[in-house]
């Protein structure tokens, strides 16, 4: 008799193959592996740096420090705690599945749950939404789409299950939102005001 976790694994595997195989296209083959590369987002990170310092002065350094802290906590929790405790094999490293996986990037030797890419990028996205989301209504969906596309790319390229990126996304979201809340005093005005 299948346990609850066996059933979850079966659904996760089916969803993985639906994305990894079923979505295959030359366009996604070219786009999604690039989205997960760090250097491709360097201009975005530079923009956040310049925007924070120009608009918030010395407080911008505090904001950037908290952003880096959220990123670091998400990465450490995912990579050094959860992955080592859960020890779930990546689909591309699982002997029962590896031959069927369409692997579009190197597989990696680490464990799968949770996805550190998803945790890190959702931590950044939710932190930025919490701090800057009031400035423009488009900030929220754009940042969620950004983090979500990077997380989804992990499944498409064959290195994570959907459950891994969902878990990583939830972890990062909690950390990022918590970091943003710490940036606000009780009146909610600390970063809502520009530097004089």
pTM (predicted TM-score): 0.89
Q: Are 8 and 90 in contact (CB under 8 A)?
A: no
| Range 149-156 average pLDDT | 95
Closest-CA residue to 89 (of 113, 116, 115): 113
Q: Is the pLDDT of residue 2 over 80?
A: no
Q: Mean pLDDT lowest for which of 46-60, 140-154, 163-177? A: 46-60
Our measurement of the distance from residue 155's CA atom to the centroid of its chain's CA atoms, rounded to an integer in Å, reads: 12
pLDDT at 189 over 70: no
Question: Quick one: tokens of 61?
Answer: 């350094």
pLDDT at 193: 52
Q: What is the mean pLDDT of the chain?
A: 89
Pairwise CA distance, residues 119 & 112, whole Å: 12
Under the banding of pLDDT at 50, 70 and 90, the label for residue 160 is: very high
Q: What is the dihedral of CA 179, 184, 186, 192, to 10 degrees?
A: -160
């Amino acid at each position: 008799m299948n346990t609850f976790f066996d059933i979850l694994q079966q659904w996760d595997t089916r969803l993985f193959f639906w994305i990894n195989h079923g979505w295959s296209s030359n366009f996604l083959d070219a786009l999604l592996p690039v989205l997960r590369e760090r250097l491709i987002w360097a201009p975005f990170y530079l923009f956040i740096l310049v925007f924070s310092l120009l608009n918030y002065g010395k407080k911008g350094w505090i904001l950037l420090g908290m952003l880096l802290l959220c990123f670091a906590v998400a990465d450490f929790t995912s990579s050094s705690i959860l992955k080592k405790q859960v020890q779930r094999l990546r689909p591309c490293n699982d002997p029962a599945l590896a031959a069927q996986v369409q692997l579009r990037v190197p597989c990696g030797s680490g464990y799968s749950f949770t996805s550190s890419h998803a945790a890190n990028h959702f931590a950044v996205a939710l932190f930025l939404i919490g701090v800057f989301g009031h400035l423009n209504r488009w900030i929220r969906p754009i940042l969620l789409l950004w983090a979500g596309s990077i997380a989804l790319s992990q499944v498409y390229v064959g290195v994570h299950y959907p459950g891994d990126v969902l878990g990583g996304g939830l972890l990062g979201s909690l950390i990022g939102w918590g970091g943003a809340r710490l940036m606000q005093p009780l009146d909610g005005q600390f970063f809502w005001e520009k530097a004089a």
